[in-house]
Amino acid sequence: MRWIAHKFGGSSVANAARYQAVARLMVGRDDEAQVVVVSAMQGVTDTLIGITEKAATRSGDWVTELEALKQRHLATADELLGQQAPAFAAALDQSFADLAHLLRSVELLGTVPVEIVELVAGLGEVWSAQMLSAHFRALGETAEFLDAREVLRVTATELNVAVDWLPSEKLLAEYRRQHAGKRVVVTGFIARRLSDGRITTLGRNGSDYSASIFGALFDAAEIHIWTDVDGVLSADPRRVPEAMVLDHVSYEEAFELAYFGAKVIHPQTMAPATAKGIPVFIRNTFNPDHPGTRIDAEGGAEPPIKGITTIGGMAIVTIEGAGMIGVHGTAERVFAALRDARVSVTMISQGSSEHSICCVIKADDADRAREVLAEAFAREIARGQIQRVMSERGISVLAVVGEGMAGTPGICALLFNALGRAKVNVRAIAQGSSERNISVAIAEGEATRALRAVHAGFYLSAQTLSIGIIGPGQVGQALVHQIAEARARLLRETHLDLRVRALAGSRKMLLDEQRLDLSNWREALADQGLPCDLEAFARHVQAEHLPHAVIIDCSASSEVADHYPRWLAAGIHVLTPNKQAGGGPFERYQAVQAAARSGRARWRYEATVGAGLPVIGTLRDLIDTGDRIERIEGIFSGTLAYLFNRYDGKVPFSELVRQAKAAGYTEPDPRDDLSGLDVARKLVILAREMGMQLSVDQVHVESLVPAELVDAGVEEFLSGLSCLDAPMHERYQTAHEAHQVLRYCAVLEADGRAEVVLKALPAFHPFAHIALTDNIVSFATSRYRNNPLIVRGPGAGPDVTAAGVFADLLRVASGLGAPL
């Protein structure tokens, strides 16, 4: 039967319920013998050390705290041990009585020797292991209690506490001869010194170290470290919400991650396991079904980057001067001086010119380091060979760790692209020849931003789009629904990650750090929305840790369009069905185009003319391939197409308008459709796409709104519209008698002449046979002169307009590398 070592930390044995959960995890594993290493109950070690310090300094009521600690253990035992509780309580009473006597002695002395601190600090593990072994027995399970102080012998060294393996193995062998059980509950954290037999501790993370030691002593097949997270994470989840659990890492990768601040496991912890090649698993007591992270000699091939982490509270010490170039022994003198001053160097960087050497050290050592280096190179400084020795605090080291970096081109490019995009300046760079670690020194204030940006660069899809949508009207709502429906499929099939992180109406906006819940955004916007601030909205969308930002303007606001140049210049892609920028003041149009041309961002506005129809795209293709546009003619209003498809002279035109409004085919104020200005803006957009400097006031527009009703209220307008019935009926009759139909058309000539008018067209004309609300566009060109190119289809309605915007979004994503 193979031995498996299990270690449970303080959070895993915080109370009776957690002890019971630990027992449930261990019971029923009939194919393994278990060595179960436990920490003290959560917070107990710190409490014991605090009580000892209070006794030594005669400050605080340590007696009351000690009694509370005792009662906590007794209450836990009462829940766990059943009939075995009285025996455990008696032993615990004696242990606490002995401790109280010891602390009174400390109080009399007024000081506390380190040996007493180490003895007291380890008592929590003793009580915890005794309680868990008794709980197993109360459940009818076998369990032996092993006080690690009886078998584990160690020697303190300059670097750490080293295990004396041979005497420890002999003592354990003797213990096992006397205790043949297949489950041994061991105290973590504590041991005895080989030199004098005094009780000592293994330091912080000592219980993890104990698990690795006893895994090696028992020749365990595996070591499981049970904690309160699902495994080793790719980054600190408090700073990087997108951090993910790593399935498989190598010992070396784990060492690097631990050194640079990963809190799950300490490098020393794994040393005994590494020496014997025992795989270590990091598991979650609170989520035991999760497989956790496996750490072994081989590691996993994917992903090539296993983690990104940072160390703060650092400083850069730099020594530079022309006199260093080509001089042998300079680096040796630098490091000898720092060694003699007991300054530990975290990172070293030296340019190939040998003009300078910089070291990253703890900020607390910065002044001392600068002074000893200035002293060591005093002669060179006096001669001007060394220009300066300086130190700078406020530095963090960001490390990218992974065995898969070795021999993989482009890793550095990803790192520095991510940092550049986040506007993080790199102060120093270091990479070992193993290529397992790339470290950069950056300003401490930029560390979290850098960490998130680099993590996103390596772990998120390169086609992750941070999206903000403005205008939650009918088109905006349809677009949100379409994105919600397609998001999972696009991520699965093309790795395109569409993250709607912001929504804004005219008064409120809703922001989320990762992505909005698109199933209840309306309620959230109403209940949790912040006052709308488009500058803050744009800053949120353009998250420095996400590779691409997109703002989609589904409003009809000219004020929103005013922001386009700034957004585009900042690198935010802008997509819109809003005609204000393309068809509004020419100066603004020029500013938007200039911003789009000068930066990395794209402005896409296909839906401004034909909703979901490829009108602008077709025009752009014709121009880009060298065709010459001679004439564009079209029906660009679904509302007016509907009215003149339906109008047959039998129902008065005014009544038909009222019916169309009731059916939702017109704007709330039908004059917005009947005035022809919306069609004129679309024509202006096409003209500008051809390079013309056309404005709406240069388009001849035949308005269908009677002059006397222009300024009337909506209801007054609708009731007074009957004045249009007679002239409209007359025009219909004239056209009908000539076998013609009435169509509201826009026409753009190559020389810039533009008009929007009601025309009588032959019955055989392509515009005469469209569906009720269709748009249709005819391109007459040098290639398509005799048989114009026709684009036809639904050109209005929330769904088709949203689909046109969505298509623009996918075109932008395709340009960014998404395989669409």
CB 183 within 8 A of CB 143: yes
H helices within 123-188, ranges in order? 123-138, 165-178
How many Cβ atoms are within 10 Å of 13's Cβ, its own excluded?
Answer: 26
Catalytic residue status for 682? yes
Q: How far apart are CA 134 and CA 129, in angstroms?
A: 8
Cis peptide before 303 (omega within 30 of 0): yes
Residue 60's H or E segment, with its range, is none
Using the structure block, give the residue that is written with the tokens 């401790």. Answer: 99
Using the structure block, give the residue that is written with the tokens 């809003």. Answer: 578
The 3 state secondary structure assigned to 423-447 is CCCEEEEEECCCCCEEEEEEEHHHH
Using the structure block, give the residue that is written with the tokens 């097949």. Answer: 221
Cα three-residue angle 482-536-449, rounded to 5 degrees = 90
CA distance readout (Å), 665 to 215, 285, 669, 675, 723: 76, 60, 11, 15, 22
Residues 6+ away with beta carbon under 8 Å from 342: none
Using the structure block, give the residue that is written with the tokens 């009544």. Answer: 655
Using the structure block, give the residue that is written with the tokens 């979650």. Answer: 284
How many angstroms from the chain centroid is the CA of residue 504?
Answer: 22
In the DSSP assignment, the letter for residue 245 is B
Residues 6+ away with beta carbon under 8 Å from 767: 633, 635, 741, 743, 745, 761, 776, 778
Longest dimension (CA), the chain: 120
Residues 6+ away with beta carbon under 8 Å from 57: 110
Closest residue by Cα to residue 440 from 473, 470, 422, 416:
416
Q: How far apart are CA 408 and CA 392, in angstroms?
A: 34
Q: How far apart are CA 652 and CA 224, in angstroms?
A: 83
Using the structure block, give the residue that is written with the tokens 């300003």. Answer: 443
HSE toward the beta carbon, residue 562, CA cutoff 13 A = 5
Dig out the tokens for 33 from the structure. 């013998």
Q: How far apart are CA 307 and CA 438, in angstroms?
A: 11
How many Cβ atoms are within 10 Å of 697's Cβ, its own excluded?
Answer: 8
In the DSSP assignment, the letter for residue 29 is -
How many Cβ atoms are within 10 Å of 61's Cβ, its own excluded?
Answer: 11
Residues 6+ away with beta carbon under 8 Å from 355: 320, 321, 322, 324, 325
What backbone torsions phi and psi does residue 270 show, to the nearest 5 degrees? -85, -10
Residue 26's H or E segment, with its range, is helix 16-26
Strand spans (E) along 512-584: 530-531, 548-553, 573-575
Active-site residue list: 682
